[in-house]
Amino acid sequence: MSYFKSHGVTCAHYPAEWFRVVNQIQGWGYAEGISRDLSDPLEAKALYVFTVARRLLRATHSLYERYQRWQPIFLDATVLLFPMLELVGYSRVDDAEVAGKHPGPDVSTVNLWAALHWLRDPEWLPVVLDNKQKIDTTLLHMWQIGHLVSLRHFLLHGSKNARDKHGNPLPIQDIVDFHLPGFLYEQAKKALPAYWYQLRQDDGTDHWVKRLASSDIRPLPIKGSAKFEEGLVDPDIVMWLEN
């Protein structure tokens, strides 16, 4: 343990695989911002989540740098940002609440809903009381969170089945606005370091570490990469989060 204050919390899924990621990091032979004392698989899991989030943000910004406008890359940028949000949202929900109140395979709805609220308020603790996240009228800037959840399904499910709370087709043009990817990008860039701080400060009473531990997130090994054979973790991810 080198970063987290919370002790005795272990990865509920794939602990052996996450331990191999720890060994991978230790075997690099240099730190580049990651503590040489890293020994906890849960911390490696956290660094993976932040690595993937940053890479998707970086890919989004690379598109923007090429075009210098969000209008021509709305689709490209938005479909990069939604998976980033779902991954972070999944790390922040209570899996037992989700299983009890939102049974079924479509947990992406809950994960995205939690992440959109996270962008609205990084201190907000998601509590899943029902399965009505698609009709959440809470505003995130100029968009209803439920509408953005519907937009995600519209874009990533073959541009179909965007519906309002009554089951009627939802005019997608009422949701799509070229400002959206830029707004999501800027908010996430600020919220990710805040989430890292929450995990580091959690002494076991704030839920964040426990929720991360219970999330069914698996390492992403990249065979042939030499550095990421057991799982993708950027060596400088801690430096990025803390600076």
Q: What is the DSSP string of 25-64?
A: HHTTS--TTS-TT---HHHHHHHHHHHHHHHHHHHHHHHH
pLDDT of the residue at 156: 73
Residue 8 lies in a domain: no
* Residue 179 · residue 69 · CB < 8 Å: no
Structural domain span for residue 139: 30-242
Residue 10 lies in a domain: no
pLDDT of the residue at 172: 77
Residue 105 lies in a domain: yes
* Residue 128 · residue 103 · CB < 8 Å: no
Residue 236 lies in a domain: yes
Residue 20 lies in a domain: no
Residue 4 lies in a domain: no
**Is the model's pTM score more than 0.85?**
yes
Q: What are the average pLDDT values for consecutive 10-residue runs of the chain, which has 243 residues?
A: 85 97 88 82 97 98 97 95 97 91 75 97 94 90 91 74 67 84 98 98 93 97 95 96 92
Q: How many CA atoms lie within 13 A of 174 on its CB side?
A: 10
* Residue 53 · residue 83 · CB < 8 Å: no
Where are the alpha helices (H) located in the chain, listed in sequence order?
15-26, 41-67, 74-92, 95-101, 108-120, 145-156, 179-201, 208-214, 237-242
pLDDT tens sequence across 104-152: 656 789 999 999 999 999 999 999 998 888 889 999 999 999 989 988 8
pLDDT of the residue at 1: 55
pLDDT of the residue at 155: 82
Residue 2 lies in a domain: no
Residue 3 lies in a domain: no
pLDDT of the residue at 103: 64
Residue count (the chain): 243
Token pair belonging to 172: 């997608």
The structural domain count of the chain equals 1
pLDDT of the residue at 128: 92
